[in-house]
Structure 1
Amino acid sequence: MNKVMGRPIPAVVVAFLCVIIFFPSILNAQKINGPIVLTNRQLTEKVKEFYIAGVNDDRAERNAIAILLPTAAPYDKYKIDVKDGAAVALKRFADYAIQPNKTLRPVNIRIKKLKITEEPINNNQVGGKLEIELLFELKKDFGPVKLVSYPATTTYTRNAAQQYDLGVLLSRALEGGLNWFNNWINREADTNIKLAKSVKLIFTDYTEQPEGDTIYYSPKRPLTWDDFKDKPYGNKYVAEVLPGFGYTEQAEVVQSVVVVRISMRVFLPKSAAWVRYEGRNDYALTHEQRHFDIAKIVARHFQQALLAMKIPADNYDGYINVQYLDSYREMNQLQDEYDKETGHGMNGAAQARWNEMIEKDLKEVL
């Protein structure tokens, strides 16, 4: 079984932004004792693909996020944190920025880094740096699917005697991350397989021109004794064929739908078919043709079973693989029953019954 997948599934994408800003309007002459309070902000672009289902704080060290310099002596650094904790504060911020619409894709945010540090530049100035990394993942029943990582760094400079409004600083940084992810998912929604919402299967029957060693099933191309190229084995039967079926697969995402094109291959290798000289008659050839017909019928059962399923976009290949194995077992079982009941063609009455059943089934699947 050969599988040829379509557009490769991308690894987790990483974005990196570095912004140098200076906002005199958010300087504050008073020392910030904490906690840091975020300011509500709504995204400028409409959100139509997702909502924030949850926020997790995955920082390696969950200490207070800010290590700051005071505006007056003593100049020992001190720590402050976000009000209610990083995860709660960010979820509240996200719910205001993006009105939750649970008909859209549920997205979780994992806070991988959130840190504000200050260092003296000279006697009159202090330099600050905000480092943030947000991992966005799609929430699924079987577990989260990583989508994209957003790391960014923002720096600022303040007068040593004036403190910076960190609530505004952090709120702007979070707004920037949500805007960035909104733009990313708008671009990716139609073609990224991780974001696909449904599956469409398209089946075709493979043909080969010119014909080689392998015969691919066609109602217009019945077996002939010239197809039996192998040397005879054993002494129990006058002829034998070994048909099978498989498929090749190509997948692409079109407007959030995984379109899977499956080319069915019901085949019989000439090099695996043999006949004794004394067995070359129409009755024996019909028996061997029925083996090939059974493979075709079960291949169509495989197709029908998949088309009747509601296949999830995030595990379509697993469903196809499982059904293929089930159908192949069905084929082997039917081939064994056929040979057992007909006595490998020696029981004429049983052979006639199977001929009738197989013809009926072929009419339904061809």
Structure 2
Amino acid sequence: MKWIFLACFLISNIVFGQKIYWAENVKLNWNNFKSKINNQRGANVVAYTNCGWIYSYVKSSNPKAPIKIEIQTVFNEDKSWKDVKRINDYVLLHEQKHFDAAEVYARKLRKEVAEKIKTSSDFDRYFKAIYNRNLKEYQDFQRTYDGETKNGMLEDKQSEYNRIIAEGLEKYKSY
């Protein structure tokens, strides 16, 4: 029986251990970047953070029944890459901010979902559109963030985005 438990524990660790869920006290480190493939294919890319959201819900077949929706921000270790010859703490901070920005947009999504989706019927009617709009805003932000900071190389722009992201985390902290 002990062996079965140990085997299940090790397998679940392998399967589920490749995601880091965003938490204020959890910061990324270079060991979290486990992909061997630079899927960005750019010679100037020093690291790549693969992060976003996952959601789950419990709903009833009764359209008026309350619904429970959970949205989490995740960092995917097996899809995040680093160039071990060029990494440093400054680049790691830039990558952390990608993860933090994902949490800002997850909080915005949680807020809108909490305000507009109360029942199973609301979920069926509104969730997909709310999710897709928030996802587009999040993706646009991430592209703009990399573009304006030149992937973190422009220190003044990086500082500006550090502030913007910190303000977003604070503004939506109750979500």
TM-score, normalised with respect to structure 1: 0.40
Structure 1 gap ranges (5+): 1-208
SS of equivalent to 1:223: coil
Q: Show CA shifts across 1:253-300 (max 9, x none).
A: 89x952211121211211111111233211100000111111111111
SS of equivalent to 1:356: helix
**Taking structure 1 as reference, are residues 280 and 349 closer, same or farther at Cα in structure 2, changes over 3 Å only?**
same
Of the three residues 282, 286, 290, the one matched with 2:97 is 290
Greater length-normalized contact order (CA 8 Å, ≥ 6 residues apart)? 2
Partner in structure 2 of residue 344 of structure 1: 151
Of the three residues 213, 222, 226, the one matched with 2:18 is 213
Asked if the contact 1:229–1:272 (Cα under 8 Å) also holds between the matched residues in 2, the reply is yes
Of the three residues 19, 27, 44, the one matched with 1:222 is 27
Matched letter for residue 82 of structure 2: V
Partner in structure 2 of residue 325 of structure 1: 132
Of the three residues 245, 264, 271, the one matched with 2:71 is 264
Alignment of 1:303 with 2:106, yes or no, is no
SS of equivalent to 1:332: helix
Moved over 3 A (4+): 310-315
Partner in structure 1 of residue 53 of structure 2: 245
Q: What is the number of equivalent residue pairs in this alignment?
A: 157
Q: What pairs up with 1:154-173 in 2 under 5 angstroms?
A: none
Matched letter for residue 339 of structure 1: D
TM-score, normalised with respect to structure 2: 0.81
SS of equivalent to 2:67: strand
More strand per residue: 1
State the alpha-carbon separation in 2 of the partners of residues 345 and 310 from structure 1: 37
Asked if the contact 1:250–1:260 (Cα under 8 Å) also holds between the matched residues in 2, the reply is yes
Asked if the contact 2:51–2:75 (Cα under 8 Å) also holds between the matched residues in 1, the reply is yes
**Taking structure 1 as reference, are residues 279 and 365 closer, same or farther at Cα in structure 2, changes over 3 Å only?**
farther
Asked if the contact 1:342–1:350 (Cα under 8 Å) also holds between the matched residues in 2, the reply is yes
RMSD (CA atoms) = 2.2
State the alpha-carbon separation in 2 of the partners of residues 311 and 220 from structure 1: 31
**Taking structure 1 as reference, are residues 221 and 312 closer, same or farther at Cα in structure 2, changes over 3 Å only?**
closer
Asked if the contact 1:228–1:270 (Cα under 8 Å) also holds between the matched residues in 2, the reply is yes
Matched letter for residue 231 of structure 1: K
More helix per residue: 2
Asked if the contact 1:248–1:264 (Cα under 8 Å) also holds between the matched residues in 2, the reply is yes
Structure index of larger Rg: 1
State the alpha-carbon separation in 1 of the partners of residues 28 and 86 from structure 2: 14
State the alpha-carbon separation in 2 of the partners of residues 293 and 279 from structure 1: 22
Partner in structure 2 of residue 361 of structure 1: 168
